[in-house]
Amino acid sequence: MPRPLFATIHLDSMQHNLSQARTCAPSARIWAVVKADAYGHGLERAMRGFATADGLALVEQDAALRLRELGWIKPILLLEGFFEAADLPQLGEHNISTAVHCIEQIKMLEYTPLYRPIDVYLKMNTGMNRLGFRPHEYAAAYERLRAIRDVRSITHMTHFANADELEHPRLTIGEQVRCFREGAGDLAGERSLSNSGGVLHQAELAEQLSNDWVRPGIMLYGGTPGGRSAAEFGLRPTMTLRSEVIGIQEIAQGETVGYGSRFEAPGPMKIGVVACGYADGYPRSAPHGTPVIIDGVRTTLVGRVSMDMMTVDLTPIPNARVGSKVTLWGDGLPIDEVAHAAGTIGYELMCALAPRVRVTEGRLGSDG
């Protein structure tokens, strides 16, 4: 029998969260972001969960081609663009759109003939300082792209650094939007500004944001980029990680638990051993007090997470036994709450799910 550890993917929640994105930005078309194997949910599942999206966006060209093999006929966008001129013919052949964020990519487009013209998302750096042309360089990059025969259309794009915090002390959405407008001016083409944070705050930012396309990512998977909880935005978890108690220890006051003996029992305790560790994708950094749910009762992690196991406090659950059901995140326990306790973000937990974890599908609220 396999280990009693499995992740359940809730396609109904994916569909629901996509509908929430449409509610937030009703006038925009939606790129559902499916990079990193759809944030650990699986590319094929994401294609079904986001079937009504207007397009799928990701960074991996091989995964983009896989989407076409799976039967996705709607638009696909490469968010980081292409990396070599040799990548370009496949984009034209399979009708895959690409970001362009540097002069080197423009040069490759200029000298590489394509099977058919492609659509380009020209990226502006408005303060994130990762990828993109500076506003004063942007119009020249745009004109150079326009002169290329195999560029069919140009959409203007930027990325918000602090969309989860509307009045960030260093860089606000408003400042980035002003920068974007200065750089793009009245250049022809559609606009794509909002990531999940921008979409979730679309109502508050309606006067500033004018999106033809939005690019939600984490919100589609039941997480938020920060600030308010997913539940406050009406989002539902799309991944539930479950396991079982596989061993129980009764320990006395002063005894310690786990590697490094970092947890010392303040009194007599009942300790449960759960089949899940950092080799499964659970964060080793999760400290004592990180929440878990055992047989429907909330309790906490104790001791250090090890490679294959973790230890939890069963004292509040007197009837717990070997075989008791454990929820590590998801249904009933927001992944962002677990991530916050571990000093990370929900994105990382989803993407870190290890291949050895069995993955099933089930509706939210079921046992998977």
Write out the two tokens for 182: 């200065």
Give me the catalytic one of 35, 138, 278, 282: 35
What is the maximal distance between C-alpha atoms in the chain? 77
Vertex 47 angle, CA 43 and 48, to 5°: 120
Per-residue CA distances from 272 to 310, 311, 316, 324, 335 (Å): 8, 6, 11, 9, 21
Give me the catalytic one of 111, 259, 325, 347: 259
Instruction: Report the Cα–Cα distance between both ends of the chain, in Å, rounded.
Output: 17
Burial letters for 298-332: b for 16+ Cβ neighbours within 10 Å, e otherwise? ebbbbbbbbebbbbbbbbebeebeeebebbbbbbe
Q: Is 35 an annotated catalytic residue? A: yes
C-alpha 238/C-alpha 92 separation (Å) is 33
Q: Is 259 an annotated catalytic residue? A: yes
Chain CA centroid to CA 215, Å: 11
Chain CA centroid to CA 188, Å: 31
Report the catalytic residues.
35, 259
